[in-house]
Chains A and B, each alone.
Chain A
Amino acid sequence: DTAVSQTPKYLVTQMGNDKSIKCEQNLGHDTMYWYKQDSKKFLKIMFSYNNKELIINETVPNRFSPKSPDKAHLNLHINSLELGDSAVYFCASSYASGAGGIDEQYFGPGTRLTVT
């Protein structure tokens, strides 16, 4: 009965490799997000999708490419991994209210990415 799930939980890889992180939510939400949490615990939004449409695209290197095949899934592909990409990546989901409204966001358990 997991609400927001991510795979893998841990990912260790070498610089220059390409990797993907998958996210799925079974809450029926229409909006999904990717956040990055650095070593100092700071949470920063990277992307959000609403009904498979990209809504938020923060200042993120274009090596990061999100893909949303349907409302319940949002994957994150990272090309040419760098040391600075090491962090914990969280997926989240919510309902989107109209007119810029906001609703509760629920987070997944996170994927700890380590680039060596």
Chain B
Amino acid sequence: GENVEQHPSTLSVQEGDSAVIKCTYSDSASNYFPWYKQELGKGPQLIIDIRSNVGEKKDQRIAVTLNKTAKHFSLHITETQPEDSAVYFCAASTRGSTLGRLYFGRGTQLTVWP
């Protein structure tokens, strides 16, 4: 099955700096890559996703890039704010797999210091 690796496991940045979280996947048939943000005591919230037919997607301060050849994708957060502090998860889904199966990375604890 698919194996998703996520790095780093913890990331601390100063407010206003950028943060980058990287994930790799093993199955070249994967075609959907969502990112989730989980705040303390809450459920994961979908913040951005990308499909294999595009290389980059942006939504305000958040962007995701995908390199299908290298089988890795990254989350970029610019102008970080304290409220960006949370655990971020990447995930991948394999084309033709059982409906709805997502394989998650192990998460990155992002802390933004004011």
Binding site for B on A (CB under 8 A): 4, 31, 33, 40-45, 48, 50, 55-56, 90, 94, 96, 99-110
Of all chain B residues, the one with the shortest Cβ separation from A30 is B99
Which of B53-61, B77-85, B87-95 binds A? B87-95
B22 lies within 8 A of chain A by Cβ: no
Which of B11-19, B37-45, B62-70 binds A? B37-45
- Given known A-B contacts A41-B87, A110-B42, A96 and B107 have beta carbons under 8 A apart: no
Q: Is A99 touching B96 in the complex (CB atoms < 8 A)? A: yes
Expressed in whole angstroms, the minimum distance between the Cβ of A25 and any Cβ of chain B is 12
Of all chain B residues, the one with the shortest Cβ separation from A58 is B101
A/B interface sample: 15 pairs, CB < 8 A: A42-B107, A48-B99, A48-B101, A55-B99, A56-B99, A90-B43, A102-B99, A103-B100, A104-B46, A105-B34, A105-B102, A107-B43, A107-B45, A109-B42, A110-B41
Binding site for A on B (CB under 8 A): 31-32, 34, 36, 38, 41-46, 49, 87, 89, 93-102, 104, 106-107
User: Which residues on the A side are within 8 Å of B99 (C-beta)?
Assistant: 31, 48, 50, 55-56, 96, 100-102
Of all chain B residues, the one with the shortest Cβ separation from A56 is B98
Q: Is A106 touching B102 in the complex (CB atoms < 8 A)? A: no
Q: Is A40 touching B98 in the complex (CB atoms < 8 A)? A: no
- Given known A-B contacts A41-B87, A41-B106, A43-B89, A108 and B100 have beta carbons under 8 A apart: no
Expressed in whole angstroms, the minimum distance between the Cβ of B103 and any Cβ of chain A is 8
User: Which residues on the A side are within 8 Å of B101 (C-beta)?
Assistant: 45, 48, 56, 102
Pairs A-B, 5 closest by C-beta atoms: A107-B43, A100-B96, A102-B93, A43-B104, A102-B32
User: Which residues on the B side are within 8 Å of A42 (C-beta)?
Assistant: 104, 106-107
Expressed in whole angstroms, the minimum distance between the Cβ of B107 and any Cβ of chain A is 5
| CA of A50 to CA of B45, assembled, Å | 21
